[in-house]
């Protein structure tokens, strides 16, 4: 799903040695540092390295929800669908249930858009101010042709994080899909969206339209 959450490639940022020295006498702090290191590997797309660190962590904190969630995310990116879903399911009923539903939504979207929307709604109900969840739910609804439902989700995401480009661009795509060319032009102008980006968003809208036609059994025109 083109508008759904993606990892960002960032340069490696090694933690200062003094952080480890301070944390050595504090197991909670040490756990936090190790978790942040795994998250950094995920952001860099180093999924196999992240998984190796996760496996090491599980030897010490086998049932820690945060470690289970990071493993689920890692296996999702590695396209280990069954293992990822099983891990997300283990988080149900716990403090990370909302994030687990988000992961299931992203995992399910390529094969079953309706099921993905249900999962993402569950996530949004539990974490209503999470920008990525609201954006991903809005995008899934937009892909499904449920434009009226997509608008408030994408608008909420855009207002929660005004500086985020993804939700704003998805709103432009939605306007293009609904034939609101004037609205799309106005939003692009107000946000300073470049002509090249607008061109890319127009192509993205056409891809979504073609996918909708394909699902309905019609031939894209």
User: What single DSSP character describes residue 4?
Assistant: S
Give the burial class of 109: count Cβ atoms within 10 A of its Cβ; 0-12 exposed, 13-18 middle, 19 or more buried.
buried
Angstrom distance (rounded) from CA 113 to CA 116: 5
Per-residue pLDDT tens digits for 9-22: 344 444 454 454 55
- DSSP structure string for 26-57: -HHHHHHHHHHHHHHHHHTT-HHHHHHHHHHH
State the pLDDT at residue 191. Answer: 87
State the pLDDT at residue 29. Answer: 77
State the pLDDT at residue 221. Answer: 53
- pLDDT tens digit at each of 221 positions of the chain: 545 553 333 444 444 544 545 545 566 777 788 889 999 999 999 999 999 999 998 888 778 999 999 999 999 999 999 999 999 999 999 999 999 999 999 999 999 999 999 999 999 999 999 999 999 999 999 999 999 999 999 999 999 999 889 999 999 999 999 999 999 999 999 889 999 999 999 999 999 999 999 988 876 55
State the pLDDT at residue 9. Answer: 37
Cβ atoms of 72 and 84 within 8 Å: the answer is: yes
Picking from 130, 144, 78, 142, the residue whose alpha carbon sits closest to that of residue 100 is 130
């Amino acid at each position: 799903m083109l508008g759904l959450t993606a990892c960002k490639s960032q340069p490696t940022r090694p933690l200062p040695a003094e952080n480890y020295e301070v944390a050595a006498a504090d197991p909670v702090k040490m756990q936090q540092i190790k978790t942040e290191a795994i998250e950094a590997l995920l952001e860099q797309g180093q999924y196999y390295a992240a998984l190796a660190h996760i496996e090491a962590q599980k030897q010490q904190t086998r049932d820690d929800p945060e470690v289970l969630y990071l493993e689920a995310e890692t296996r999702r990116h590695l396209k280990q669908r069954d293992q990822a879903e099983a891990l997300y399911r283990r988080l149900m009923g716990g403090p990370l249930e909302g994030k687990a539903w988000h992961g299931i939504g992203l995992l399910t979207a390529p094969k079953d858009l309706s099921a993905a929307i249900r999962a993402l709604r569950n996530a949004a109900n539990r974490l209503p101010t999470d920008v990525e969840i609201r954006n991903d739910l809005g995008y899934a609804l937009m892909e499904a042709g449920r434009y009226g439902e997509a608008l408030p989700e994408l608008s909420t995401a855009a207002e929660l994080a005004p500086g985020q480009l993804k939700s704003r661009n998805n709103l432009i795509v939605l306007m293009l899909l609904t034939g609101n060319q004037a609205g799309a032009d106005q939003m692009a102008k107000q946000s300073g969206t470049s002509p090249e980006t607008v061109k890319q968003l127009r192509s993205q809208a056409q891809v979504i339209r073609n996918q909708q036609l394909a699902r309905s059994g019609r031939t894209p025109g």
